[in-house]
Structure 1
Amino acid sequence: MTEEPVFIQKGSVTDKYTIDRVVGTGSYGKVYAVTSAQKDKLLCCKKIMYSCLSSKAKELVTNEIDITMKLDHPNIVKYYEVFDDVDENSYSIIMDYYKNGDMLKFLTDHKKHGKKIDEDLLWAIMIQVLLALSYCHSPFNATGKAVIHRDIKPANLLIGDDMQVKLADFGVCRLYENAQEHMAMTIVGTPIYMPPESFESRTYTTSFDIWSLGCTMYELAAQKYLITGPTDRDRLERARKVSSSQLSIPGYSTEFVRIISAMIKYHPDDRPSASDIIKSPEVQSITKKWAEEGRYGHIRIVDSPSIAANAITINLFGLHDFSKLGDAAEGRVGDSQDNCAKAVPVPLDIQDVKIDPVSLDVSNVR
């Protein structure tokens, strides 16, 4: 059920919550474990001190708050309350406390103990992120506009109970105002997860996130970065190579590797949409297998009764032929540098689009 919308309220977080302890630090401040006045639930407070931020950094923070408050999906982090404390020049964001941390920590723990992440679990992780992206990429989400996250990576995938994945950190995301509007943007994501078009100052669309998810899933499986290089030119050359060579991830199925290969196609038009992948034979097969084995019972493809369903998987920016699945090569590590790019949505005649209301129930993944 959709909750009441959250608005930024003036005042201190301590007016309604008790701060317990520091549980981490973020880009712009600290993260605390807090309890409500009723002390009925342990929550998390992300406190951001905006007095010391540049105008650009503050814009990113306010953008994240604005977008995340509007989005409503089981695989996207939910903000319950936001406080603007003018006395200490800070925002305090109340959200769920994720005791299991994020996917980067999950991967690091596996690497530390010399263990691979089970493929079935990787499928469950990927499907949940795809579900969140199919919601974001549809103009039928709660914002009324298509949302491009632009910073999909392990550190931005939080882990809830029963391995429910939550997409977080919408600070660098952008909205498509309408199907014909052109927008120039500065990319402020993480370069080793950014697609080739962002380095070439070419236009980009929702396929930006598909590339980033492909890089993320490769990293979780292979336990190393896909794209490497000290400069943009080096990373771009690496992207060309991985897109034109055969991808290999020892210990994982051909079907799993094939999906990743499709997501890291060099040209954005050749990448499938999030909903394409959810409806692909590979995903259909794995979810059918789970049903037959009685595993991951809450991950299943179901018919959605209406567009208003949270888990709707509609992509109005062009359905792709999934026969375009191809091969790509493995890679290593890279570093960071911001770049400029232009973003334009794909022109769309909505009357020509067939809406396929397919959704995925991942409310309680084992």
Structure 2
Amino acid sequence: MDAFTKIEKIGEGTYGVVYKGKHKKTGQIVAMKKIRLESEDEGVPSTAIREISLLKELRHPNIVTLEDVLMEECRLYLIFEFLSMDLKNYLDSLGKGKLMDPKLVKSYLHQITNAILFCHQRRVLHRDLKPQNLLITKDGTIKVADFGLGRAFGVPVRAYTHEVVTLWYRAPEVLLGSQRYSCPIDIWSLGCIFAEMATKRPLFQGDSEIDQLFRIFRVLKTPTEKLWPGVSQLPDYKATFPNWTNYNLESQVKNLDEAGLDLLKQMLTYDPALRISAKDMVGHHYFDKIENGVRPLFEE
């Protein structure tokens, strides 16, 4: 830890306090994530250390770089490159009646999809994608933060601050108790984020797991065996779920063109086996005309 100076606390993440810091020798500004582990007395689990060291290999222009992993007694510090703005703050900063530029929505989605494809090809899931985990720069780059931490430390029900970890971006198979989830869970989360970039409001704002499911069902219909083979066998599925029968995604997401809506529908497909993959997303016609270098409007 001697190599870094803490400048200020900048936030509280899922796993612990995040500080802005500075490398004493180089002057590089970094984000220092202090990982608070469940069992402080036992030190850092070797599985977590193994997982985290793998994450240092994930180098991609749209992934926040894990620069270093430091141990201090029972505490683990993850040192990341520093970016000052996340997508949630950016959407909140846009002012009443102002939406994100559709070209920027497309550019951001394309960049995040590339990052996810890169990780999925290496068998790394994110598990907790949300606008707070997407960091942006002035030049129009967006980067995914916290890739792989879900596997290293588990995705807790509550953050260490006792704030409930948001369910808004969680895939239906996870909400229904499936233990056998995989890459499609990240695609679902990204679909929810895509809709939110287009409309500036979260698509499914549930405040409990059951409320979250019902909000999804109201927009995409209650899933049936025909729509999603095997759904009724999932641990938390109930035959008594209300049966919503209208599919009204279009009315919820009005600002997307036809190609965008087509892609969104494929991302929010119930059956994980039929949900579009990151690889197929990259080739979708929504991305036929893409403008690089579209910039967000924000002051640092």
Interval containing the TM-score (normalised by the shorter chain)? 0.7 to 0.9
| Aligned equivalent of 2:173 | 197
Structure 2 Cα separation of the partners of residues 117 and 192 of structure 1? 20
1:269 is matched with which residue: 269, 273, 276?
A: 273
- Please, which moves more after superposition, 211-220 or 198-207? 198-207
Mark the CA change 1:67 to 1:160 in structure 2 (over 3 Å): closer, same or farther.
farther
Per the alignment, residue 114 of structure 2 pairs with 131
Residue 103 and residue 46 in structure 1: after superposition, are their counterparts in 2 closer, same or farther (change >3 A)?
same
Partner of 1:103: 87
Letter in 2 for 1:199: L
Percent identical among aligned pairs is 29
Task: Identify if the C-alpha distance between structure 1 residues 58 and 171 changes in structure 2 by more than 3 Å, giving closer, same or farther.
Answer: farther
How far the C-alpha of 1:49 sits from its partner, in A, is 4.2
**Residue aligning to 1:70:** 57
Instruction: Label 1:49 to 1:209 Cα distance change in 2 as closer, same or farther (>3 A).
Output: closer
Matches of 1:26 and 1:228, distance apart in 2: 20
* SS of equivalent to 2:249: coil
Letter paired with 2:65: K
Separation (CA, whole Å) in 1 of partners of 2:212 and 2:293: 40
Equivalents in 1 of 2:151, 2:107: separation in Å? 24
The equivalent residue for 2:241 is none
Q: Does 1:171 align with 2:156?
A: no
Partner secondary structure for residue 18 of structure 1:
strand
Amino acid paired to 1:205: S
How far residue 234 of structure 1 moved from its aligned partner, in angstroms, is: 3.4
Q: Can you give the 5+ residue segments of structure 1 that lack an aligned partner in the other structure?
A: 1-12, 175-184, 291-295, 299-366
Alpha-carbon offset, residue 226 of structure 1: 1.7
CA distance in 2, matches of 1:20, 1:147: 32
Residues of 2 paired with 1:186 and 1:97: CA distance? Answer: 23
Report the counterpart of residue 349 of structure 1 in structure 2: none
Name the counterpart of 2:187: 210
The alpha carbon displacement at 1:213 in A equals 0.4
Give how far 1:40 is off.
Answer: 3.7
> The residue matched to 1:163 in structure 2 has which SS?
coil
- Please state whether the residue corresponding to 1:270 is helix, strand or coil: coil
Partner of residue 233, structure 1: 210
Give the secondary-structure state (helix, strand or coil) at the position aligned to 1:95.
strand
Q: 1:21: Cα distance to partner?
A: 2.5
Could you report, residue by residue, the CA deviation over 1:255-290 in whole angstroms, capped at 9, with x for unpaired residues?
222211210011112211111011112212x22xx3
Counterpart residue type for residue 209 of structure 2? D
Aligned-residue Cα RMSD (Å) equals 3.0
Cα distance in 2, alignment partners of residues 199 and 173 from structure 1: 17
Cα distance in 2 for residues equivalent to 1:168 and 1:207 = 18
**Cα pair 1:43 1:96 within 8 Å, conserved:** yes
- After superposition, the Cα gap between the structure-2 partners of 1:79 and 1:117, relative to the gap in structure 1 and judged at 3 Å, is same
- Aligned amino acid, residue 123 of structure 1: K
Distance in structure 1 (CA, Å) of the matches to 2:23 and 2:31: 10
SS of the aligned residue for 1:70 comes to coil
TM-score by length of 1: 0.62
Q: Distance in 2 between matches of 1:225 and 1:58?
A: 35
Instruction: Give the deviation of 1:192 after TM superposition.
Output: 1.8
CA displacement at 1:173 relative to structure 2: 3.7
Q: Contact conserved, 2:129 with 2:169, CA < 8 A, in 1?
A: yes
Secondary structure of 1:221 counterpart: helix
Contact 1:74 1:166 in 2 (8 A): yes
- Whether the 8 Å CA contact 2:167–2:206 is kept in 1: the answer is no
Query: Distance in 1 between the 2:9 and 2:77 partners?
Result: 13
CA apart distance, 1:297: 5.7
Q: Where is the strand percentage greater, Structure 1 or Structure 2?
A: 1
Taking the aligned partners of 1:211 and 1:60, their CA distance within structure 2 comes to: 27
Counterpart-to-counterpart distance in 2, 1:200 and 1:54: 34
**TM-score normalized by the length of structure 2:** 0.74
The one of 67, 71, 84 aligned to 1:80: 67
Aligned residue type for 2:134:
L
Q: Deviations over 1:203-235 (max 9, x none)?
A: 322111111100111122222222244443333
Given that 2:167 and 2:207 are in contact with CA atoms closer than 8 Å, whether structure 1 keeps it comes out as no
Where 2:64 maps in the other structure, the secondary structure is coil
User: 2:133 aligned with 1:156, yes or no?
Assistant: yes
Is the aligned partner of 1:120 residue 2:127? no
Task: Select 1:93's aligned residue among 64, 74, 78.
Answer: 78
